[in-house]
Amino acid sequence: MRMKNIKNTELNVSVFCLGGQEWGSRDDKTTSYAMLDQYIEYGGNFLDTANNYAIWNGHGGESETLLGDWLADRGNRSDVVIATKMGGRAKDAPMSSAPEHIRRECERSLKRLRTDYIDLYYFHCDDRKVPLEDQLGTMQELIEEGKIRHVGASNFKAWRLAEAAVISEFKKYCNFSAVQQRYTYLRPRVDADFGFQKSTNDDLLEYCDERGLQLIAYSPLLRGAYIREDRPLAAQYRHPDSESRMTTLLEIAQELHLTANQVVLAWMIGRGVIVISGASKKEQLDESFKGFDIDLSDETLDRLDNAGSE
């Protein structure tokens, strides 16, 4: 498994981050443990969860609880990098990044995960009702207390990341080490609305490149839409640009004897992105791992980059 250092940290992680949205809820203990064990066997070490996974399947917190049980059963906490989040809507927590909520949810996550520290702790969304100075100041306190190691942002716009960087420098607070954002090969419509989720755009890509901020992508495979005819593209991606890029993607997949999913994953890591993907079957893990092990030529990367009507 390829490894990558998250800049300005000591975190060396696999470019394939295993996502745990469904652990302990839709995916039962047997299935979740099997996927985690297989992922580790393949050389992965980066695990992603959140305090509200999976509120849509149950109460929320099931994913962290399952992961905590697995870590205790396997005795491998020091071998993995754990990322979790707070601030999103949860059954017993508001959608808020107020200092008291940050602290409360951190303590709850530590208890569910059965660990003393969180490697990467994200704001799940951008709470503009609470001053960034207060949010970052609380995270700095948690770092000084040894409860978290690094801070990330999820679903933030580039200008808000820049604002946070100015505050962090002035106040000597922690700065964001990574940004987790919706990102895939296809580009959404200009008017696409994903609710509180934010899709990666050129402004964010440029900001990450200039500032050395690691982009970590979620929803890279669009819930199977690249390879399954029974999974149509979401409306946000239905426009001429996607048709053109899909044509190029499928041509390259056929030329290289790969699946479209594998080409998408290879393209993303070829552009320096760390990718979060979940799995509930060994075959899904196998397909993903092969995609992360492919080196696309510069010519192929350019073909993929330049495809589209925009």
How does DSSP assign 272-285, residue by residue? T-EEEE--SSHHHH
- pLDDT score, position 241: 95
User: What is the number of alpha carbons within 13 Å of residue 104 lying toward its C-beta?
Assistant: 11
- pLDDT score, position 16: 97
Write out pLDDT tens, residues 223-263. Answer: 889 998 888 999 999 999 999 999 999 999 999 999 999 99
For residue 165, give the 3-state DSSP assignment.
Answer: helix
Q: What's the rounded Cα separation, in Å, for the pair 284 and 44?
A: 15
- pLDDT score, position 261: 96
Q: Judge contact between 96 and 133, C-beta under 8 A.
A: no
What pTM was estimated for this model as a whole?
Answer: 0.95
- pLDDT score, position 58: 67
Q: Judge contact between 109 and 88, C-beta under 8 A.
A: no
- pLDDT score, position 60: 78
Q: Give one DSSP letter per residue of 202-268, joined into a string.
A: HHHHHHHHHHTPEEEEESTTGGGTTT-TTSPPPGGG-SHHHHHHHHHHHHHHHHHT--HHHHHHHHH
- pLDDT score, position 297: 97
- pLDDT score, position 239: 95
- pLDDT score, position 26: 87
Q: Judge contact between 276 and 48, C-beta under 8 A.
A: yes
Q: What's the rounded Cα separation, in Å, for the pair 3 and 56?
A: 32
Q: Judge contact between 106 and 147, C-beta under 8 A.
A: yes
Q: What's the rounded Cα separation, in Å, for the pair 122 and 86?
A: 6
Domains in the chain, CATH or no CATH each: 3-224+272-296 (3.20.20.100)
State which residues of the chain have pLDDT below 70: 55-58, 309-310
State CA 285 to chain mean position distance: 16
